[in-house]
Chain A
Amino acid sequence: MASVSLERVRKTYPGGQQAVRDVNLEVSDGALVALVGPSGSGKSTVLRLIAGLDTPTAGRIRLDGQDVTHVPPQKRDLAMVFQSYALYPHKTVRDNLTFGLQVRRVDPSTITARVQSVAVSLGIDALLDRVPAQLSGGERQRVALGRAIVREPRGFLLDEPLSNLDPRLRAATRAELALLHRRLGATMIYVTHDQEEAMTLGERVAVMRDGALEQIGTPMDVFDRPVNTFVAEFIGSPALNLLPAGIPGIDGGGHATTVGIRPHDLELTSVGEGDLIGRVEVAEPLGSTAVLHVRADAVPGQLIRIVVPSDAALAVDAPIGLRLRRDRLHRFDASGRRIA
């Protein structure tokens, strides 16, 4: 297994479009880092740069300290799981798994043994003689994973590996991936646009926007102390509320122009007791909790999201009061950066 390090890596396409802007990223040996961001944020490009499928315009990429910036993917010994799985459609599952080993001239008895053990561990040993077209989405996903694992590579690069699965299977596979990471102790870089997936899976989460790395930290770090309004809104569900700092009753503190408050950190009060007065406009029951969209008199231009236990859920148009938990306020300056 290997550590991966990116040093001021930049990728500019011939058209002048900057896909990746001066990204610095350290992934220590055996770590699982989730690269998360909206589509077009450059996260997949970063993955392809680490893989060697693309070459950076500037900057250095190191594997275990060794400069591999211009080393072709064949010699980096990393494995990648593609969003489309990219299984070889004309080869059986067995041949899909063995291809990478045969290319590397691993001896046949080792190949047989490894394929068998990986197939059993992923529960695909009954499918070895089928071709990808005969497999379900979940089975294909396992084969793609198996193809990566069987190689025993220095690290795994996963590009939205769960996005083509239905929600139930996705949740189950997510847990399996976490187990797999623990069992293999492998370095993994995991790209996803789903912040929840990134939060639950990543030991560290790297948030990207417009080709730049906005913040990297443990999931709770990023959640509790977002460095700017983008990260604050992107991480967490339902999304954080951003309110103008000037509204009465909310102390902006110094030169803050915006304050953020997570839907869980707002409390329901009776009218007149809280910081804000408003009316429920939309109520979304989620089972044990409900999300209320509230229009507050002080900020009529937007809806404030608040999560309440479902037994407290109120009817639409009900007048309510809201209290903001002072210790959970996030303060941002005019450029959107966090203050203290």
Chain B
Amino acid sequence: MTNRDGPDMSRTPRRIAVLGLSLFVAAALWPLYWIVVSSLTPEARLFEAPGLWPGTVVLDHYRALFAEREFWVPIRNSLIVAAATTLLALVLGAPCAYALARLRLPGKTAILAFVLAVSMFPQVAVISPLFLLLRTLGLINTYTGLVLPYLTFAMPLTIWFLVGFFRQLPAELEDAAAMDGASRAHAFRAIVLPLAWPGLAAAGVLTFLYSWNEFLFALSFTLGPERYTVPVSIALFRGQYQVSWGQVLAAAVVATAPVAALVLVAQRRIVQGLTAGGVKG
């Protein structure tokens, strides 16, 4: 009896944890599952009593999505805008963050506070001025016209995230590089950046997600289907007399796929990045 008691005692809470986690995961994934199932259901049967399993699987909605609606255009637009925003935010943000984390700058705290304040502006409040600005610059309905406003929100995020990350790297590594004769810039490239990969990946994924999902700016600063991003395109699916729910759902699946893939690929890096406090040389 006593032999059995020990393991059983520790197994019970574990079982409860597993059960709880399973329920949580199921709840989180349920809407996603429902979308996938519905997107494979014929339009006519969408409003029937729903079943857990799709009765008949049809790819009609997906076919319509790409053949009739040319859904690859908004996907391309979103990819270009999100990738450009992410790339620029990292390329510009990393040196900024490094300078703020390590160099002796007057007013460093003020700069950081200001950077944060910028991202606090409600989006709605800046739409009109931004629209006028972009129109003056002739950037309405261009990729640049989306990437630039996105950067105003993505950069503070990236900078704050990376400042925290760089500060956690042991400063002695950079001292060692300096003793080895490497300039600040050289040490940044050869020592700091390779070690900051998890942080860069995490910041990059967050920025990409933000840009991929952004709706308000995209709706305001694009004029036609040739520049619509995925969220705008889906929102404008409804026709004059009916909403093609099947296609909306199919589009939602297609829009989620690249992001899900990205997160899965970068998952380990992100986890490392978010738990960087435990890193030790």
Contacts and interface: CB of A to CB of B under 8 A. Distances in A.
Interface of A: 48, 51-53, 72-74, 77-80, 82, 84, 86-90, 99-100, 103-104, 132-133, 147, 151
B200 to A, nearest CB: 13
A73 B178 contact: yes
A106 B180 CA distance: 12
> Which of B179, B195, B281 has most chain A Cβ within 10 Å?
B179
A99 B170 CA distance: 18
Given A86-B172, A90-B194, A103 B281 contact: no
B182 interface: yes
Contacts of B175: 48, 51, 53, 73, 80, 82, 86
Contacts of B173: 86, 88-89
Categorize the interface residue count of chain B. Answer: 10 to 19
A89 B172 CA distance: 12
Contact of B181 (A88, A89, A103): A103
B176 interface: yes
B46 interface: no
Contact of A100 (B170, B180, B183): B180
A86 B182 CA distance: 15
Nearest to B281: A89
B148 interface: no
Interface in B189-237: 190-191, 194-195
B135 interface: no
Given A88-B191, A89-B195, A74 B181 contact: yes
Closest 7 CB pairs of A and B: A100-B180, A86-B172, A86-B176, A103-B181, A73-B178, A80-B179, A90-B194
B178 A84 contact: no
B63 interface: no
B170 A74 contact: no
A142 to B, nearest CB: 15
Given A99-B190, A103-B186, A132-B281, A84 B179 contact: no
B195 A90 contact: yes
B127 to A, nearest CB: 43
A53 B102 CA distance: 13
A80 B181 contact: no
Interface string B94-135: 000000000000000000000000000000000000000000
Contacts of B182: 74, 99-100, 103
B281 A72 contact: no
A187 to B, nearest CB: 15
Contacts of B181: 74, 77, 100, 103-104
Interface in B149-199: 170, 172-173, 175-183, 186, 190-191, 194-195
A82 B176 CA distance: 8
A221 to B, nearest CB: 31
A78 B183 CA distance: 15
Interface string B231-260: 000000000000000000000000000000
Contacts of A73: 175, 178-179
Contacts of A147: 176, 180
A139 to B, nearest CB: 14
A132 B176 CA distance: 15
Nearest to A105: B181
Contact of B179 (A78, A88, A132, A133): A78
Contacts of A72: 178
Contacts of B172: 82, 84, 86
A29 B179 CA distance: 20
Given A74-B178, A86-B176, 5 more contacts: A79-B179, A86-B172, A89-B195, A100-B179, A132-B281
Contacts of A51: 175, 179
B178 A53 contact: yes
Nearest to A133: B281
A52 B175 CA distance: 10
Nearest to A54: B175
B183 A74 contact: yes
Looking at A77, A90, A104, which has the most chain B CB atoms within 10 Å of its CB? Answer: A90
B191 A84 contact: no
A182 B15 CA distance: 65
A328 to B, nearest CB: 43
Nearest to B186: A103
A72 B184 CA distance: 11
Nearest to A87: B281
A100 B175 CA distance: 12
Given A100-B181, A103-B181, A104-B181, A88 B176 contact: yes
B174 to A, nearest CB: 9
B170 A84 contact: yes
A89 B173 CA distance: 9
A78 B180 CA distance: 8
A152 to B, nearest CB: 12
Contacts of A77: 181
A72 B183 CA distance: 9
A304 to B, nearest CB: 43
A321 B132 CA distance: 98
19 contacts: A51-B175, A53-B178, A72-B178, A74-B178, A74-B182, A79-B179, A80-B175, A82-B172, A84-B281, A86-B172, A88-B176, A88-B191, A89-B173, A89-B195, A90-B195, A99-B177, A103-B181, A147-B176, A151-B180
A51 B175 CA distance: 10
Contacts of B195: 89-90
A2 to B, nearest CB: 15
